[in-house]
A and B are shown apart, each in its own frame.
Chain A
Amino acid sequence: MAEPFTTFTAIAAPLEMSNVDTDQIIPARFMRRPRDERYSTYAFHDLRFTPDGAKRDDFVLNRPPFDQAGILVAQRNFGVGSSREAAVYALLALGIRAVVAESFGDIFFSNALKNGLLPIRLAESDCTALRNLVARQPGTQLTVDLPQNLLVAAGSAAYHFAIPDFARDCLLRGLDEIGLTFTLLPEIEAFEAARGTAA
């Protein structure tokens, strides 16, 4: 059972890259490991660290204050690629609770919603404006207000976003999908009986 997701405010970091695929979010070699605190190290690992383990200054999330970011503002097609839910686990472990982008990889979008990482789709111009804002004023905080479907940059702008109803409802109430589906068990059984596929 997840905690209900309502509003939160955090520093936002600009990610000036399109097609940030799930292999960049978490390289495959880490995926054999169980989900634990090490996942924060795996997030964007090869972008954050050199082969000998040193931090790369050229990556935005290594630079203060963006190393404290809780929100990423990206470009198009964030999370494209594999179905690995570990990409979501890694971002959450790093403290990221929302990603703003023009578009998202389909499976990543779904995985994010199921784990309380909010994928916020905004128009290209809005994403660009937000990236410019947080790059120009490092440390700018954004507020995600799920009950109001609003992303707010204090004193600057507010953007309306849409999250699919069912997922939004589950997030707001901290509900669990499997539990909800179990309430439909008679319908599942009836379907199986009608199709002759009962176990």
Chain B
Amino acid sequence: MPRTLFAKIWDAHVVHRRDDGLCLLYVDRHYFHEGSFHAFNMLRARGLKVRRPDLSFGFGDHYAPTRPGRDAPTRARDTTAIADPEIRGIIETFEKNAREAGIRAFELADPMQGIVHVAGPELGLTLPGMTVVCGDSHTSSHGALGALAFGIGASEVAHVLATQTIWQSPPRQIRVTFEGSLPAGSTAKDMALALIAMIGTGGALGGAIEFAGPAVRALSVEGRLTLCNMAIEAGARTGMVAPDAVTEAWLAGRPFARPVDIADLRSDEGAAFDAEVTLDAAAITPMATWGTSPEEAAPLAGRVPRPTEAPDAARAKAWQRSLDYMGLAGGERLADVAVDRVFLGSCTNARLDDLRSAAAVLKGKRIAVPMLISPGSSAVKRAAEAEGLDRVFAEAGASWEESGCSLCVSMNGDSVGEGERCASTSNRNFMGRQGRGARTHLVSPASAAASALAGRLVAAGE
């Protein structure tokens, strides 16, 4: 019987199957970050040990300072120099928990430090065919390499640490096919936003998405990571792309990578999906969100919708609430929306490709509003500097900082002010996500750079 890629990886990891279909799956790779302290506390409270410290890896990212503090201008990567005692404490706890359990953790000063969903793949720690979990919803990113990867909560993290397994019910399987080829100037981020605008944040609820079609095959691994990263914003538990020669070439030579036979890691001809969604990639133009949910997105060349145009009364009310928060009337052109600042970073869009695409837009020009650039990992930072991107950013007037989650989740002290409007390459435009009262517009790296130059929401080349 033909099977999907998802089913093949799932089946290969079933340790125990209950009569009701619930499965105990073996976890090949577990990642954690500073927020893992709840899970380690749960283990401690019960006197349990980490079963397989060799299969877990920690990354300091959520609270990582991106900018040197006033107290320590040259020591942004020194935990002891962090001024805020709560932030310093949570990072110290993370480092201590890892050390006590005998787990390799990439702490702030480690040259391999980075955002877990950037650095994990980059180090070759995520490989095709693996099961990957992390106490972070954007773990779906790792599916870009042909892994079955999903985010879990703290209780589940404790379960994984204690048993190296996780209970899962088989999700609905959805194939999202992007036909045709993406126009120049459009990116994987625009594909993701176009999909979510079409099917909604609940469109793939609890499901496993396999991204397929020529426009997906044509993406770099970086682009695939962006697409799978945003699968969660469509409600999915995971997103994945079948590994191919592009994947193999990308993984070759990475520090922790080992060769994997990918020949059978694809959905068989005739494999059944519970749902199919098809988009025409050729019709996808640069996108931006206008509201407070990733589904509230529109082409940058278009207008902010009016609540009267909503498909139903409930949606009209939600749109009105979003517009009120965003300080928009509805009906205005997105290109007329002025921004106060720009953020280029996050596990969605802070890989070398993303930085190059922004640098190409910024080269030889000056930004009109402040722009914070936080590379996705310390390795990305070094690679960008080796090709001179940091100089392009500096000459344009942008702030080139250290790697971390930064303004995507605003836990490390970086934040957008009340009522301020930020064009951001991150993944969530929720109310208060970038700071209390902050207004977020999600865009691609190229659009973020163009918006920084114009001081308005625009696509590159506009």
Residues from chain A with a CB closer than 8 A to the CB of B162 are 178, 181-182
What residue of chain B has the Cβ atom nearest to residue A77's Cβ?
A: B202
**A17 to B317, alpha carbons, bound, how many Å?**
9
**Interface residue A67 (Cβ < 8 Å from any Cβ of B):** no
**Interface residue A187 (Cβ < 8 Å from any Cβ of B):** yes
Report the count of interface residues on B (CB-CB < 8 A). Answer: 64
Name the one of A24, A85, A181 contacting B432, with C-beta atoms under 8 angstroms: A24
Residues from chain B with a CB closer than 8 A to the CB of A187 are 15-16, 24
Known contacts A21-B430, A23-B432, A195-B26, then 18 further A-B pairs from the complex at CB < 8 Å, ordered by chain A residue? A16-B317, A18-B318, A19-B293, A19-B318, A24-B432, A27-B436, A28-B409, A32-B63, A32-B89, A33-B86, A82-B136, A85-B155, A86-B38, A103-B202, A177-B155, A177-B159, A178-B48, A192-B164
Residues from chain B with a CB closer than 8 A to the CB of A84 are 35, 153
Q: Are A110 and B16 within 8 A (Cβ)? A: no
If the complex has contacts A106-B205, A111-B153, A114-B155, are A188 and B26 also in contact, measured as CB distance less than 8 A? Answer: yes
Q: Are A165 and B153 within 8 A (Cβ)? A: no
Residues from chain A with a CB closer than 8 A to the CB of B236 are 106
What residue of chain A has the Cβ atom nearest to residue B158's Cβ?
A: A178
5 closest Cβ contacts across the A-B interface?
Answer: A111-B153, A85-B154, A114-B155, A85-B153, A83-B151
If the complex has contacts A111-B154, A184-B16, are A80 and B433 also in contact, measured as CB distance less than 8 A? Answer: no
Q: Are B137 and A83 within 8 A (Cβ)? A: yes
Q: Are A107 and B153 within 8 A (Cβ)? A: yes
If the complex has contacts A83-B135, A181-B167, are A28 and B410 also in contact, measured as CB distance less than 8 A? Answer: yes
Q: When A and B form their complex, what is the total count of cross-chain residue pairs whose Cβ atoms lie within 8 Å? A: 155
CB proximity to B under 8 Å, residues A81-98: 81-86, 88
**A83 to B32, alpha carbons, bound, how many Å?**
12
Min C-beta distance of A86 to chain B, whole Å: 8
B interface vs A, CB < 8 Å?
15-16, 18, 20, 22, 24, 26, 28, 35, 37-38, 41, 46, 48, 51-52, 54-55, 63, 86-87, 89-90, 135-137, 151-156, 158-159, 162-165, 167, 169, 201-202, 205-206, 235-237, 292-293, 314, 317-318, 321, 409-411, 418, 428, 430-433, 436-437
Q: Are A107 and B137 within 8 A (Cβ)? A: yes
Residues from chain B with a CB closer than 8 A to the CB of A115 are 155
**Interface residue A35 (Cβ < 8 Å from any Cβ of B):** yes
Taken residue by residue from 159 to 199, chain A's Cβ proximity to chain B (1 for < 8 Å, 0 otherwise) reads as 00000111000000000011001101101100110010101
Report the count of interface residues on A (CB-CB < 8 A). Answer: 53
If the complex has contacts A32-B90, A107-B153, are A177 and B167 also in contact, measured as CB distance less than 8 A? Answer: yes
Q: Are A188 and B164 within 8 A (Cβ)? A: yes
If the complex has contacts A35-B38, A188-B164, are A166 and B20 also in contact, measured as CB distance less than 8 A? Answer: yes
**A109 to B433, alpha carbons, bound, how many Å?**
21
What residue of chain B has the Cβ atom nearest to residue A23's Cβ?
A: B430
Min C-beta distance of A83 to chain B, whole Å: 4
Name the one of A23, A111, A165 contacting B22, with C-beta atoms under 8 angstroms: A165
